[in-house]
Structure 1
Amino acid sequence: MAALGAGYESPVSPSTADSPQLLNPRGSSLRKVLILYTGGTIGMARGEDGSLGPIPGALRRRLQSVDELNQELFPQCFFDEFDPLLDSADMCPEDWCTMASCIERHYYDFDGFVVLHGTDTMAYTASALSFMLEQLSKPVILTGSQLPMEEPLTDARSNLLRAVIIAGRADLTEVCIFFGSKLFRGNRCKKMDANALTAFDSPNFPELAVVGTEVKIHHRLLCNPPKGRFRVHLMTVTEVIVVCVVPGFSDSFFDSVATAGNVKGVILLLYGCGNAPARKTSFLAACSKLVTAGIVVVACSQCIHGNVELEKYAVGRAFAECGVIPGHDMTAEATVTKLAYLLSKGLSPGECRKVMQDNLRGEMFSPAKTLDVSSSWTDLQSPCSP
């Protein structure tokens, strides 16, 4: 069982500078990009014992010597960093709010944003930002690396340079992850490999762009530009837990969850398309008790690919009838952060259950609109709400 923000207190709340520093004075002044370094492998260096750790200011100095950034092809880049720098395993919702607030503060000063982040929780951060940054009309690109910038075979240099190029474009209006030559929708992405330089993938949705000798963007996959004014809604309600169902598991703890009053949402990682043990009637009774207690219960799949269809099997139908809602084809990362975002909006449990099944930022498809990933790019339509 995992919890989002529950019982976690960040020992030091990170801050950012009021005046980001210019990295490349010879870059094109026609476009300006803010690079926010939050921590992670990309800017780490090896200590005397051989272990990697962050060094404040080191990445900024390193980037000032990158010749490519001073070409006219690149936008002018300004640099800011967390103080203190954080390993991605230490990231929590409070830190997502710091990033969102930094983007809000500088939103009208820059054409795009690059967030440098550790890889382990990058998909969670990208999903969270996609919801908190409402009516986003500029690119926010998260990237990082599997090896530090100083390593000879690093992927850091190419990931960062390409992310900057993409962040300088005016035709992207969403939060994305760029990694290993591909651009993914942030709330569709997962870290799939702990060691490969192509660490990320988007299991149920195609990549938005591929960067080779040229940048190939699949425009029909992009979210439509917003019609409203940009605003930020911070994630303040994070009492959400994630439960991975395994054969023969004990469900007795659900009683304390239902009565404690300090849990607002439960994500169930079930089998296949949302299947659960039919003989374990106590599990269904426990879920019904959670829903009755005003807790939003969402069923996701342990499978990487596919869609949750509670109506497919009798046991799933029983869960749906007691108030459990399907997470459809959302990743666990998107489901957790979306639920926390909606709870932070002050919605009632019933309203949350309804809106959780709406497509807000291209994070999901309803069963009637499941994406055929084998379709040609030109046949695909934008999934985002206008």
Structure 2
Amino acid sequence: MKSSKANILLIYTGGTIGMVKDFKTGALKAFDFKTLLDHIPELQLLDCDIDTVSFDEPIDSSNMDIDSWIQIADLIEDQYVDFDGFVVLHGSDTMSYSASALSFMLENLDKPVIFTGSQLPIGDLRTDAKENLITSIQVASLQTNGKPTIQEVCLYFEYKLYRANRTTKLNAEDFQAFSSFNYHDLAESGVHLKVNHKYLFKPHADKKLKVHKKLDNNIALIKVYPGITKAVLQSIFNTPNLKAVIIESYGAGNCSTETWFLNLLKENISRGIYIINITQCVGGSVMMGHYETSSALKNIGVISGKDITTEAALGKLMFLLGQSISPNRFKTMYETSLRGELS
């Protein structure tokens, strides 16, 4: 008979949260998560059972790539029936990228996948790792009417639970390293753990988990800036096997109206290159056509990324390119919220 306690799987990919200090040498070394309860006895106060698994070779998050994302997805897929929730321990630098990508890879998810990490190692005197880890596990174990309360990919950091594909890392030093400018917090940890139920993602009922492992990274990201040259843009568009480009434009989606710039975009769209327009601002949305400087982009067939983050824009693009869908359907799907990534 299955225990009434939630079963949580802790997945360690690498990163600062998995390091402890050797007090004799002062050097950092990898933490053995099999002895987790010995090092963090507070976890025994949680009403859940915890198991752990680790990458065979944990990596710094700067080395995260598509293969690593697939490895995380494989671990979740293989253990999906046996666990009620998953906590992914990940370096903070690329956490929003990985968590956003996983949100698209895990279709019909009806259990929590919570990404977390820390700014300081778990063995540091002033570490934020313990609180982030403990509360992430607690959030993953929450149940409502016998079912997981959270049924999406999230990111927990410094007392806040966010929808993963709405997050961006903003600060390299503060404990409050992440934010979600265009969507509400899903939960906040204080004296009490407060869940904002009305903002939670509602998956399709009675549909089985589908894990997408075919991603296509033949893409480019261009941040426009005053003085950008035709030669720079042309070199990017000449990249072999290029299939799509994300342009980080100004403000509400504005770009140069120079003839060479628009003609270059138009030429590449005509040869089948998808071009997505997102804002380089951390908050707000692209509204193509709102200003004269973005009307031309709309007219030549540039796809609107609306209020999507750069991290989610990249993950969604790799995911959709891997689906081999028609150009018309591609545009419709990119401009449609699939996992709550768009308002």
Quote the offset at 1:350 in angstroms: 2.9
Task: Give the match's secondary structure for 1:98.
Answer: helix
**Conservation of the 8 A alpha-carbon contact between 2:165 and 2:341:** yes
TM (norm. structure 2) is 0.93
Structure 1 residues 235, 193: closer, same or farther in 2, change over 3 A?
farther
| Structure 2: distance between partners of 1:49 and 1:255 | 52
Gaps of 5+ in 1: 1-27, 366-386
1:96 and 2:69 are equivalent in the alignment: yes
1:257 to 1:105, Cα distance in 2 relative to 1, 3 A: same
CA spacing shift, 1:269–1:51, aligned 2, 3 Å = farther
1:358 aligned residue: 336
- Tell me what 1:155 maps to: 128
CA contact (8 A) 2:21 2:123 kept: no
Q: Which residue is 1:61 aligned to?
A: 35
1:1-386 mapped onto 2 (5 Å cutoff):
30-46=5-21, 52=28, 55=30, 58-71=32-45, 73-169=46-142, 170-227=148-205, 228-258=207-237, 260-278=239-257, 280-365=258-343
Deviations 1:341-364 (A, max 9, x none): 001111133322221000111101
Equivalent pairs counted in the alignment come to: 334
Within 1, Cα distance between the matches of 2:113 and 2:54?
A: 16
Q: Is the 8 A contact 2:88 2:115 kept in 1?
A: yes
Alpha-carbon distance between aligned partners in 2 of 1:336 and 1:162, rounded to the nearest angstrom: 28
> Contact 1:74/1:164 (CA < 8 Å) preserved in 2?
no
Say if 2:316 and 2:334, in contact at 8 Å, map to a contact too: yes
Gaps of 5+ in 2: 143-147
1:65, CA displacement in angstroms? 3.1
Question: Match of 1:289, as an amino acid?
Answer: E
Query: In the aligned structure 2, how far is the partner of 1:346 from the partner of 1:102?
Result: 25
CA distance in structure 1 between the aligned counterparts of 2:230 and 2:82, rounded to whole angstroms: 51
How far the C-alpha of 1:293 sits from its partner, in A, is 1.5
Q: Distance in 2 between matches of 1:285 and 1:51?
A: 55
Letter in 2 for 1:229: K
| 342-351 vs 132-141, which moves further | 342-351
2:162 touches 2:187 (CA, 8 Å); kept in 1? yes
CA separation in 2, counterparts of 1:289 and 1:208?
42
CA distance in 1, matches of 2:255, 2:167: 25
TM-score (ref. length: structure 1): 0.83
**1:166-222 CA-partner distances (Å, limit 9, x unpaired):** 011211110000000010000001111101111111011110000111111111101
1:218-270 deviation per Cα after TM superposition (whole angstroms, max 9, x unaligned): 11101113221111011421111100111011132444544555111100011
* Matching residue of 1:378: none
- Provide the secondary structure at the position in 2 that maps to 1:68: helix
For the structure 1 residues 355 and 225, does the alpha-carbon distance in structure 2 shift closer, same or farther, using more than 3 Å as the test?
A: closer
Contact persistence 1:259–1:293 (CA under 8 A): no
Which consecutive segments of 4 or more residues in structure 1 shift more than 6 A?
Answer: none
Shift in Å, 1:90: 0.5
Q: Which residue in 2 is equivalent to 1:383?
A: none
CA distance in 1, matches of 2:332, 2:268: 17
Query: How many angstroms apart in 2 are the aligned matches of 1:214 and 1:32?
Result: 22
Contact kept, 8 Å, 1:114 with 1:167, in 2: the verdict is yes
The code of the aligned residue for 1:277 comes to S
Could you give the per-residue CA deviations for residues 318-342 of structure 1, whole angstroms, max 9, x where no partner exists? 1111111111001000111101100
Residues 1:259 and 1:144: Cα distance change in structure 2 (over 3 Å): closer
Distance across 1 between alignment mates of 2:40 and 2:236? 52
